[in-house]
Structure 1
Amino acid sequence: MEDFLAISECSTDELTGLLEESRSLKALYKAGQRDLCLAGKTLAMLFEKPSLRTRISFQVAMTDLGGSPIYVKPEDIGGIGKREPVKDIARVLSRYVHGIMARTFEHRTVIDLAKYADVPVINALTDWSHPCQAMADVLTIVEHFDRIEGITIAYIGDGNNVARSLAFAAGKLGMKLVVASPPGYELDSASMETANHFAPGCVTQLDDPRAAVADADVIYTDTWVSMGQEDEKEKRRKEFAGFEVNADLVAAAPKHVKIMHCLPAYRGFEISDEVTESPNSIVFDQAENRLHFQRALLRKLMS
């Protein structure tokens, strides 16, 4: 593995290896010990989109491994690919740092960074894919269920980058994903076909949230209004009516069901405050596991 751009590009062995390494490094971290395998190495963190979890988790992970993270704000580079071509940014940074993490709008940006960089490139989010989040989610599921294979996730809401990455994870790791979306917001057919190519029948699409959660081990949701879509807020609120993860929907699922959300959560929109704060919620375990998965990923790619 040279880069980490999308789960669909990774083998099952690579993904399971990263999960095992995540659990090992998390145990080390909880014991107050550190693995300084990246001492003397530097990670450039490029941001087109701001983020609390992405920035802090990568920065802490890199520091905990003995390395040095450098936060690069959008204004520092005038927009990736705007003031200067992505291929030039990639080649210049390759002369300065040992790895590049990018949180961008277009997925093409991270593809081009990886193509022209001589150092590992990590996709920390694009509009098409959010692989670090999905793998932190799988790590969280393993911790709560002690298994991956056979787990059923009901994803309720917009068929976005998170849903797509979870679909690829399901196909690679033996899970099932049921996506329930209102018309026009379904997971795209190409991504469904890719996931089901890995494991036939692992991903299905419905328009009924209650049917989707009937056999779920996990109910997962994400914002209905992603960054850059703020002008669609009221339109989406109307079109997603009936898709809020609330107490009534959770009651239609098995009692053992866990609730997941990648945050930030807009309580009262896609998820209720009651459900977020319920004993079934493992939302903040997910948030923590961004740190532990990314530590393992940095170690794998940069040590």
Structure 2
Amino acid sequence: MRHLLSLRDIDQETLRHLVDRSVQLADPGRRGLLLAGRVIGIYFRRPSTRTRTAFSAGAMRLGASVLPFGPDDLQVTTGETWGDTARVMSGYLDALVMRTNDGMDELRDIAAASSVPLVNALTRYEHPTQAIADLATLREHFGDLSGRGILYVGEGNSSAGALAMAVAAYPGLRLTLITPHGYGLRPDILEAIKQLSGGDDRIHEHHDFSRMPTDVDVVYATRWQTMGVRHERDDWQAAFEGYKVTAGMMRAVGGGKAVFLHDLPAVRGQDVDDDVLDGPASLAWRQAYHKMTSAMAVLEWAVLGARGRA
């Protein structure tokens, strides 16, 4: 069963395939109706603009039908277990895409009961298809990613964790994460990075802007409140002082040559300035487009495997 729950569950070859296929699928002529006659279920517990639309549009562009479910549409709200729901849904669907915004244990329990592929469209600490879209954007822009350096600035959230694991599993890429004290990567994510990289010392996290690299190819930012979830401390914004990406920061770390990524939505003037997000170095809008192509690549792989390419 080809579930995509976490990037720690797939090998380097599969990750490369998904990244390369995401780039190929940006060309409508490389698609084809490979999922014609298939039915994809899409369940989102929380609001979503890009990811939900990306999976829905991507599935339909590949010829599949889409069944959307909201948080109150299934009888798990009346006491049915997710295991029983997954067993029933497996008879109707060819794949199920889920955004829970909660921990991974629930998703793994659902996958264990499902006889069709399950795709993680975001849990609380990992957003695997976002990271595939990130690397696809850079692969399309740069070509060969070997030796490229990425600077991530902001909270150690689901996008940061997935990006770090993707970089760890993609030989040759380098990543520095600067995160506020108390808002860094979780210990289990750090352990997964070590395992995926095989001990290769290419990923570093710290909290000190005086150690900011000056030779990166990419600067990556996210909003400081993931999915709008409130931080526990009322004074949390004090920890993020200095974390806004400005044109000055872009020049300082990339010598005016670095490109900019943002997983969106952005809080303009807080996590990034307008002249960076809308500027010539920004790939954020192409990155958003690749959320759809990465969704397509993942659905194609999950349902068909590597065969059937157009």
Q: CA deviation at 1:153?
A: 1.1
Is structure 2 residue 156 aligned with structure 1 residue 159? yes
Pairwise CA distance, 1:71: 0.9
The 5 Å alignment of 1:2-151 reads 2-27=2-27, 29=28, 31=29, 34-77=31-74, 83-106=79-102, 107-151=104-148
Task: Judge conservation of contact 1:178–1:203 (CA < 8 Å) in 2.
Answer: yes
How far did residue 213 of structure 1 move? 4.2
1:257–1:210 distance in 2 versus 1, CA, 3 Å: farther
Distance 1:287 1:233 in 2: 31
Instruction: Quote the offset at 1:245 in angstroms.
Output: 0.8
* d(CA) in 1 for partners of 2:50, 2:209: 28
Shift of 1:163: 0.8
Instruction: Give me the TM-score of the superposition, normalised by structure 2.
Output: 0.91
CA distance in 2, matches of 1:77, 1:189: 34
* Structure 2 CA distance for partners of 1:210 and 1:280, relative to 1, 3 Å: farther
Aligned residue identity for 2:47: P
What is the distance in 2 between the residues matched to 1:289 and 1:240? 28
State the TM-score, normalized to the length of structure 1.
0.93
Alpha-carbon deviation of 1:300? 1.2
For 1:2 and 1:110, the matched residues in 2 are separated by: 14
- TM superposition shift of 1:81: 7.2
Query: Map of 1:154-193 to 2, 5 A cutoff?
Result: 154-174=151-171, 175-193=173-191
Q: Distance in 2 between matches of 1:12 and 1:274?
A: 36
CA distance in 2, matches of 1:140, 1:34: 18
- Residue 268 (structure 1) shift: 1.2
Deviation at 1:183, TM superposition (A): 0.8
Q: Which amino acid aligns with 1:196?
A: K
Return 5+ residue gaps in structure 2 as ranges.
305-310
8 Å CA contact retained: 1:167, 1:177: yes
> What SS class does the counterpart of residue 119 from structure 1 fall into?
coil
SS in 2 for 1:182: coil
Cα distance, 1:209 vs. partner? 3.6
Letter in 1 for 2:144: R
1: CA distance between counterparts of 2:15 and 2:58?
19
The aligned residue for residue 226 of structure 1 is 226
Q: How many residues align?
A: 299
2:243 aligned partner, one-letter code: F
> Structure 1 residue 89: deviation in Å?
1.7
Native 8 Å contact 2:23 2:139 kept in 1: no
Gaps of 5+ in 1: none
- By how many angstroms is 1:233 displaced? 8.6
Aligned to 1:212: 212
Bigger shift: 176-185 or 229-238?
A: 229-238
Amino acid at match of 2:58: A
Percent pairwise identity: 31
Question: Structure 1 residue 201 and structure 2 residue 201: aligned?
Answer: yes
Cα displacement (A) at 1:6: 0.9
1:70 CA drift (Å): 0.9
Q: CA RMSD in A?
A: 1.9
